[in-house]
Amino acid sequence: MNKYYTRACNFYYGTVSKKYIKKKKSIPLNGYNFISFDKIEIIDREKTKIINIKDISKLPSKLKNKVNRDLKNIKKKRTFKKLNLSKIPIIMGIMNLTPDSFSDGGKYNKKTLAKKRLNSLLSNGAKIIDVGGESTRPGANDIHPLKEWDRIKFILKILQNKKSFISLDTRKSFVMEKASKIKIDLINDVSGLSYDPKTVNYLKIAKKPFVIHHMKGTPMNMQIKPTYKNVLLDIYDFFEAKLKYLRKKGIKHNNIILDPGIGFGKNLKHNITLLKNISIFHSLGLPVMLGLSRKRFIKDISKENDTKERIGGTVSSCIQAYLQGVQILRVHDVKEINQAFKVFKELQN
- Annotation marks residue 308 as catalytic: no
Q: Nearest 5°: CA angle at 233, between 232 and 238?
A: 105
Q: Which residue(s) pair with 12 in the sheet? A: 36
Taking phi over 0 as left and psi of -120 to 50 as alpha, with beta for the rest, 10 belongs to left
Strand partners, 162: none
What letter does residue 59 receive in the DSSP assignment? S
Q: What is the sign, positive or negative, of the torsion defined by CA atoms of 123, 127, 133, 138? A: negative
CA 106 to chain centre: 25
Per DSSP, what are the bridge partners of residue 330? 92, 291
- Residue 208 sits at φ, ψ, to 5 deg, of -80, 140
Task: For residue 62, count CB atoms less than 10 angstroms from its CB and return exposed for 0-12, middle for 13-18, buried for 19 or more.
Answer: exposed
Q: Which of 117, 172, 266, 295 is catalytic?
A: 295
Q: What are phi and psi of 342, to 5 degrees?
A: -60, -45
Report which DSSP code applies to 279.
G
Please, are residues 35 and 11 in contact by the beta-carbon 8 Å criterion?
Answer: yes
Single out the catalytic residue among 7, 216, 310, 330.
330
Question: Is 137 noted as a catalytic residue in this protein?
Answer: no
Q: What positions carry a catalytic annotation?
A: 295, 330
